[in-house]
Amino acid sequence: MRKIILFFLTLCVINLSCEKVVNKPLYYSVTNDPLATGMNAVYIPSTGTYTMPVQVKFLSGYLGAPVALKLTGLPAGISGTPDTFSAAPNYTENFVFTINNIALGTYHATLTAYTPYQANKVYNFDLIVIPPDCSSLFLGAITGSNACSARSYTYTSTGSASGTSGTIVVNNFGGYGSGVNVPVTFNCDNGTVSIPSGNYGNGVTVQGSGWFNTTQMVINYTAANTPSGSADTCTASYTN
């Protein structure tokens, strides 16, 4: 009888011990863009340094468990510090990229997040190296290709300096004629472009927004009073 009691007491102790080491999962998010999810492309000026804040947010589960971040896969010519960081969320860690003699273009990197007892989360993202004034990518002759609601066509435009950093003027925008000069403003931090609504020549009113990389600019826009006499809803793709 005594042995049986000791046996059950031993089982109880084992069960209590197991309960103590049960590892509860931690649910969290990782992003370098608080307005989006995951790791998005980073636009880095070709000289100097660039800081990429990475936000790790606690969602649910084991509060207080650390989440480590490790940065790998950087191309030669771009270094990042720190390469590893760990803390309990919520937190934001600033990874600093230093650029040294690397060509303009798109490169790839990986950020891995890991916490004890769970599978790693792997985020692949692009590093896009651009000039300090990214609008300069599209100065000079640029080839346009329009996909509109009623037609598609190609044409040649010219990007000229506007006198304002980050903005160029696209002549013959949309293929609407040499009298149409549309200002395009670049956001070098997130790779977007915008056109405020306005009459930019020949009576053509344009408004739009889009994105760019080192070789292409894509703008979704609407235009009224076009030379064809109708309104256009188009996607214009420009290559330099």
Distance CA 44, CA 38 (A): 18
Give 180: exposed, middle or buried? Use CB within 10 Å, 0-12, 13-18, 19+.
Answer: buried
> What's the Cα-to-Cα distance from 208 to each of 53, 103, 138, 156, rounded to whole Å?
29, 30, 17, 19
| Residue 89: cis peptide before it, omega within 30 degrees of 0 | no
Say whether both 121 and 160 belong to one domain: no
Strand bridging mode 232-239 / 216-224: antiparallel
Say whether both 31 and 116 belong to one domain: yes
What's the pTM value of the predicted model, to 2 decimals? 0.80
Say whether both 83 and 124 belong to one domain: yes
Over the stretch 198-223, which tens digit does the pLDDT of each residue have? 999 999 999 999 999 999 999 999 99
* Residue 13 domain flag: no
Where does a domain end: 130, 147, 179? Answer: 130
Over the stretch 120-177, which tens digit does the pLDDT of each residue have? 999 999 999 999 999 999 999 999 999 998 889 999 999 999 999 999 999 999 999 9
Eight-class DSSP state of 38: B
Q: Identify residue 160 by its one-letter amino acid code.
A: S
State which residues form the domain around 222. Answer: 134-239
Say whether both 166 and 200 belong to one domain: yes
* Residue 5 domain flag: no
Where does a domain end: 81, 99, 130? Answer: 130
* Residue 69 domain flag: yes
* Residue 74 domain flag: yes
Q: Which residues contact 4 (CB under 8 A, 6 or more apart)?
A: none
Say whether both 142 and 233 belong to one domain: yes
Cα 235–chain centre separation? 20
| CATH number of the domain to which 53 belongs | 2.60.40.10
